[in-house]
Chain A
Amino acid sequence: MIEFRDVSVTYPTGTKGLDGVSLTIPEGEFVVIVGLSGAGKSTLVRSINGLVPITGGSLQVGETDLSGIRRRSLRTLRSDIGMIFQGFNLVTRTSVMNNVLTGRLHSTSSLRSMLGWYSRADKEIAFDALERVGILEKAWVRASQLSGGQQQRVAIARALAQQPRVMLADEPVASLDPPTANAVMRDLQRINRELGITTVVNLHFLDLARRYGDRIIGMRAGKVVFDGTGAQADDAVFERIYGRSLTAEDVAAPGAPARAGTDAGAGTDAGAGADASTETGTGTRDGEPLDDAASTSPGSVQAAGTPRVASTPTDPAATP
Chain B
Amino acid sequence: MTAPTQAHDGATGAITRAPRKPAPTAFTVIGLAAVLLITLWAGAGIDFTLAPLIHDLTRGEEVLRQFVPNWSFLGRDAVITASLTTLYMAIISSVIGCAVAMVVALLASKVSAPNAVVYQVAKAVMSAVRSLPDVAYGLLFVAFVGTGALGGMAALIMFNIGVAAKLTAESIDAVDPGPIEAVEAAGGNRIQRAFTAIIPQVAPNYFSYCFYVFELNLRASLVIGVVGGGGIGQTIMTELARFNYDNISAVIVLFIVVVFVLDRVSRAIRRRLT
Contacts and interface: CB of A to CB of B under 8 A. Distances in A.
Contacts of B189: 75, 105, 110
Which one of B187, B192, B196, B203 has the highest number of Cβ atoms from chain A below 10 Å of its Cβ? B187
Nearest to A161: B186
Interface string B174-218: 001011011111111101100111001101100000000000000
Contact of A158 (B176, B181, B182, B204): B182
A82 B184 CA distance: 11
Contacts of A88: 178
A1 to B, nearest CB: 20
Contacts of A113: 188, 191-192, 195-196
B185 A49 contact: yes
B196 A85 contact: no
A79 B189 CA distance: 11
Chain B facing A: main interface SS: helix
A76 B200 CA distance: 25
19 contacts: A76-B187, A79-B186, A82-B185, A83-B186, A85-B181, A88-B178, A90-B182, A93-B201, A93-B204, A102-B182, A102-B183, A105-B183, A105-B186, A106-B187, A113-B191, A113-B192, A114-B195, A116-B195, A158-B186
Contacts of B185: 49, 51, 78, 81-83, 168
A113 to B, nearest CB: 5
Nearest to B204: A93
A78 B185 CA distance: 6
A148 interface: no
Given A98-B200, A105-B192, A82 B178 contact: no
Given A79-B186, A89-B182, 10 more contacts: A51-B185, A85-B182, A89-B178, A91-B179, A98-B196, A102-B186, A105-B196, A108-B192, A113-B195, A158-B182
A91 B186 CA distance: 14
Interface string A193-236: 00000000000000000000000000000000000000000000
Contacts of B183: 102, 105
- Nearest 3 A/B pairs, CB to CB: A89-B178, A79-B187, A106-B187
Interface residues of B, number: 21
Contacts, number: 84
Interface of A: 49, 51, 75-83, 85, 87-91, 93-94, 98, 102-103, 105-106, 108, 110, 113-114, 116, 155, 158-159, 162, 168
Interface of B: 176, 178-179, 181-189, 191-192, 195-197, 200-201, 203-204
A51 B181 contact: yes
Contacts of B182: 83, 85, 89-90, 102, 155, 158
Contacts of B203: 93
Nearest to A51: B185
Nearest to B198: A91
